Chains A and B, each alone.
Chain A
């Protein structure tokens, strides 16, 4: 499964780096390295609601504060 985080200008200012680092840590901690592939992408056209994170065709709005909840609800459940 591929999880793509937007690293465009707007999302960067809203905390892409924190989201990326949290996701990397959470994926590692849950031993999902083999199953979840993290990637970066430029603008997904959803800047107003950044940080944009994409799984399949679905775009989610994640912030550094909500990243753990997002991981539990949307990443783990799909593995």
Chain B
């Protein structure tokens, strides 16, 4: 292992009028440092395609994890998949991206559009060797990785986007590659890259996709730790313990909550300067303490961050808001979702007497709930999360 980590983001558009997706992405991470992503696209659409792609992705990810040869994997697949009565074939295309110890990638591709690779933000033409197994041409690649390498796998729904509508030949792979090369910058996460491409496909399809369309992005990035402290400890005697833990951690630091910030300022013997600028009318202004990256109000700001987090792992429709805005919640969202990879929460469980007023919609339970839900969302984003309560 090294100080790098993998960031993954995938999402599908379902063919217009269907309820099930015929593409399937399966991601597995083993304790031995192996990461495997399989994107399978089943023949046809709807239930049949869904079954084919589910079987294919599960079989492949399980067998590849057990270090079984590609030949055996493909043979097993051909023998297992149900034969389509209409077309007389058992068929599902697939792309496998296997990454070992964040150092080497192995890409195995069968009949999906070829994986697009970006290195240093530029398109990178990786070597491929062709192999014939069971009359299928399979492309294999082995490549040493560098930090910020990006792999984008897709189903053919992406390259058919816009066919017979706004484009004669669809959104061809070269077009997609050029689009993402132009749109890419280093701060984009895998989920953001996936969204950029999928939104463009959806647009070309005039929001009525003619085929299931899936984008799966894997990005190798440097680990970035971040610590966030919110709330004073339940037992005031634990304050110095909490402060020692928080301030001795490495990486960026966020403090949420007025009382928490005042106590921290006292500990650091630095002034706490409150600002009065409202970038978002709903979110209280941020403050400054020298040495702390961001100081915000507590529960209102964090509720908003939670809203953004839930959207980000779902449809990612509010990226435009939090990726640009200057209010405290948007700033926290950027630091947590886009930047950090390992996040430690230091949560104080003191009950704020001011918040127990029945007129106010802030209670102790709500606060704890926000932290738990947010930690959950962040885990789904693939972050390492550590929560300590005081």
Chain A residues close to B by CB (< 8 Å): 5, 7-10, 12-13, 16-17, 20-21, 24, 38-43, 45, 47-48
Q: Are B258 and A43 in contact (CB under 8 A)?
A: yes
Question: Interface size for chain B: under 10, 10 to 19, 20 to 34, or 35 or more residues?
Answer: 20 to 34
Tell me whether A8 and B258 are in contact in the complex, defined as CB-CB below 8 angstroms, given that A39-B276, A40-B276 are known contacts. yes
Answer yes or no: B17 CB below 8 A from chain A CBs.
no
Q: Which of B261, B287, B357 contacts A10 (CB 8 A)?
A: B357
* A and B contact pairs by CB, cutoff 8 A, 30 listed: A5-B276, A7-B258, A7-B274, A8-B259, A8-B297, A8-B354, A9-B257, A9-B258, A9-B284, A9-B354, A10-B354, A10-B357, A10-B360, A10-B362, A12-B297, A12-B300, A13-B360, A21-B278, A24-B276, A38-B276, A40-B274, A40-B285, A40-B287, A42-B261, A42-B272, A42-B274, A42-B287, A43-B262, A45-B354, A47-B357
Report the minimal beta-carbon distance from A25 to chain B, rounded to whole angstroms.
13
Q: Which of B275, B281, B353, B362 contacts A9 (CB 8 A)?
A: B362
Of A16, A38, A40, A48, the most chain B CB neighbours within 10 A belong to: A40
Chain B residues close to A by CB (< 8 Å): 257-259, 261-262, 272, 274-276, 278, 281, 284-285, 287, 297-300, 353-355, 357, 360-362
Tell me whether A13 and B361 are in contact in the complex, defined as CB-CB below 8 angstroms, given that A42-B274, A47-B354 are known contacts. yes
Give every chain B residue within 8 A of A39 (Cβ-Cβ): 274, 276
Tell me whether A9 and B361 are in contact in the complex, defined as CB-CB below 8 angstroms, given that A38-B276, A40-B287, A42-B259 are known contacts. no
Q: Are B258 and A42 in contact (CB under 8 A)?
A: yes
Give every chain B residue within 8 A of A9 (Cβ-Cβ): 257-258, 284, 297-300, 354-355, 362
Taken together as a complex, chains A and B put the C-alpha atoms of A39 and B276 apart, in Å, by 7
Give every chain B residue within 8 A of A24 (Cβ-Cβ): 276
Report the minimal beta-carbon distance from B373 to chain A, rounded to whole angstroms.
18
- The majority secondary structure among interface residues of chain B is loop
Give every chain B residue within 8 A of A7 (Cβ-Cβ): 258, 274, 276, 284-285, 297
Q: A10-B354, A12-B284, A43-B258 are in contact. List 6 more A-B contacts (CB 8 A).
A: A8-B259, A8-B297, A42-B287, A42-B297, A43-B354, A45-B354
Give every chain A residue within 8 A of B284 (Cβ-Cβ): 7-9, 12, 16-17
Tell me whether A13 and B262 are in contact in the complex, defined as CB-CB below 8 angstroms, given that A7-B274, A38-B276, A40-B287 are known contacts. no
Q: Which of A5, A41, A48 contacts B357 (CB 8 A)?
A: A48
Taken together as a complex, chains A and B put the C-alpha atoms of A5 and B278 apart, in Å, by 13
Q: Which of B278, B354, B360 contacts A20 (CB 8 A)?
A: B278
Tell me whether A17 and B361 are in contact in the complex, defined as CB-CB below 8 angstroms, given that A9-B258, A12-B284, A48-B354 are known contacts. no
Give every chain A residue within 8 A of B285 (Cβ-Cβ): 7, 40
Taken together as a complex, chains A and B put the C-alpha atoms of A16 and B281 apart, in Å, by 10
7 pairs of A and B residues whose beta carbons are closest in the complex = A42-B258, A47-B354, A40-B274, A8-B258, A43-B258, A12-B284, A40-B276
Q: Are A20 and B274 in contact (CB under 8 A)?
A: no
